[in-house]
Amino acid sequence: MLIDFEPGDYVTNPANMEWGVGQVQSIIGNKVTVNFEHSGKKVINAENINLEKVNDEN
């Protein structure tokens, strides 16, 4: 498993696009804590959910 983002990066959860864009808060092992604009803070298991990095942070 490869996590290709770091704290401060912006991501989306393709399975839950209604959550909006989230900012990665921390990564501990395979647990990624993300603060999403529409659903608040979520702890994501990166083994089960593939987050997608948002490249343009405009």
**Considering the domain boundaries, does residue 27 fall inside one?**
yes
Tokens of 17: 């696009």
Q: How confident is the model at residue 3 (pLDDT cuts 50, 70, 90)?
A: confident
* Residue 2: inside a domain: no
Gap between the terminal Cα atoms of the chain: 29
Give the tens place of pLDDT for each residue, 28-55.
999 999 999 999 999 999 999 999 999 8
Kindly report the CATH number assigned to the domain that includes residue 20: 2.30.30
pTM metric for this prediction: 0.89
The residue segments making up the domain with residue 49 are: 10-53
Number of domains in the chain: 1
Average pLDDT value for the chain: 92
